[in-house]
Amino acid sequence: MPFELLTWLPIGLLGLAVGSFLNVVIHRLPRMLQAQWAAEALAHESQPETEDRRPSYNLSWPGSHCPHCHTALRWSDNIPVLSYLWLRGHCRQCRGVISWRYPAIELLTCALFVWSVATHGVSASALAWAGFASALVALAAIDADTHLLPDAITQPLVWAGLLAASGHLSGQTLSDALWGAVAGYLFLWTVYWLFKLLTGKEGMGQGDFKLLAALGAWLGWPALVSLVLIASLTGLTGGLVLRARHRLSEDGYIPFGPFLALAGLWVMAWGPLPGLHL
């Protein structure tokens, strides 16, 4: 028992720490991108360019603070899960409600790290799959919040999948990973343009192409049919639930990224659906 505890405790703690960092990425990265786009648009319109003296905003600055009263958090308020339980889901200063999603993402990431090591042992493969799963968690939450799938995550995830295959870390051949990335991107790209030609509307964002390319790179082209089917069915179910609860947007649009990420985690853990592994 002591040996097992010494083995799994550091892995669980690492997963919690990464989950805490993912919460920062989920909250800040979209705001960083929007600020960058606004600055680029302003620079394009203004003549001559003026020096931007606004304080920087990135993943490390400013320090963690309450989203309601903006009070800087103590180190003891930043302990994954435990701080949320100790404070009963409220800010110490203003008693504003802290979203349950923060500890949920920390616990989910912890579980994914433990799964990776339980499946692949203490190895580079386990670290690779834990990183892949963590990226999917971040992308799903960002897309659900903002309808964005940042290139800063999707594009490195494609390259990481190809590198993992070439280093024999993902269980895919480099050929399967490469064609998985190509076919994944081209499939949704084709669906996008067919839908746009038939309806004159955009049915999905281009970030979805890159995300399916990344899934194909990690899971191989034979898994693409299962990935698309799982994502489509869960997306349809999610849309029906939102409609029944009167929480569907007026245009009926729901982001596809979270369902692609869910499909990726499903196939990672349980493999492609029976009979659909090409």
Residue 253 to residue 203: CA distance in whole angstroms: 8
pLDDT bin (cut points 50, 70, 90) of residue 105 is very high
Q: Which amino acid is at 86?
A: W
pLDDT level of residue 33 (50, 70, 90 thresholds): very high
pLDDT band at 1 (very low <50, low <70, confident <90, very high): very low
Could you report how far apart the first and last alpha carbons of the chain are, in Å? 43
- List CB contacts of 267: < 8 A, sequence separation 6 or more: 215, 219, 223, 226, 227, 230
pLDDT exceeds 70 at position 90: yes
Query: Residue 90 — φ and ψ, nearest 5°?
Result: -135, 150
Residue 29 has pLDDT above 50, yes or no: yes
- Residue range 53-81, pLDDT digits in tens: 556 778 888 888 888 888 888 888 889 99
CA-to-CA dists, residue 215 to 87, 138, 169, 224, 232, angstroms = 38, 14, 15, 8, 15
**Alpha-carbon separation of residue 9 from 22, 48, 132, 226 (angstroms):** 20, 56, 21, 34
Amino acid found at 59: L
Q: What is the mean pLDDT of residues 124-151?
A: 97
pLDDT of residue 173: 97
Band (146; pLDDT cuts 50, 70, 90): very high
User: Distance (Å, rounded) from C-alpha 65 to C-alpha 55?
Assistant: 16
3-state class (DSSP) for residue 64: coil
SS (HEC) of 176-235: HHHHHHHHHHHHHHHHHHHHHHHHCCCCCCHHHHHHHHHHHHHHCHHHHHHHHHHHHHHH
Beta-ladder partners of 97: 90
Q: What is the pLDDT of residue 55?
A: 61
Alpha helices in the chain (DSSP H): 2-45, 82-86, 101-120, 124-146, 151-166, 174-199, 206-219, 224-244, 257-270
Between 82-96, 137-151, 219-233, 246-260, the lowest mean confidence (pLDDT) is in: 246-260
Residue 52 scores a pLDDT above 60: no
Share of the chain above pLDDT 90, in %: 64
The answer to whether 204 touches 256, Cβ cutoff 8 Å, is: yes
* 3-state DSSP assignment of residue 72: strand
252: left (phi over 0), alpha (psi -120 to 50) or beta: left
Residue 179 has pLDDT above 90, yes or no: yes
* Rounded average pLDDT over 107-124: 96
What value, to the nearest 5°, has the Cα angle with vertex 254 and ends 250 and 256?
160
pLDDT, mean of residues 163-189: 97
Query: Which among 122, 150, 126 has a CA at the least distance from the CA of 27?
Result: 150
Q: 221-232, pLDDT tens digit by residue? A: 999 999 999 999
Q: What is the pLDDT of residues 182-196, one digit of tens each?
A: 999 999 999 999 988
Q: What is the model's pLDDT at position 251?
A: 67
The residue to which tokens 């590198």 are assigned = 163
The closest alpha carbon to 216, from 167, 160, 254, 256, belongs to 160
The secondary structure of residue 84, as a DSSP letter, is H
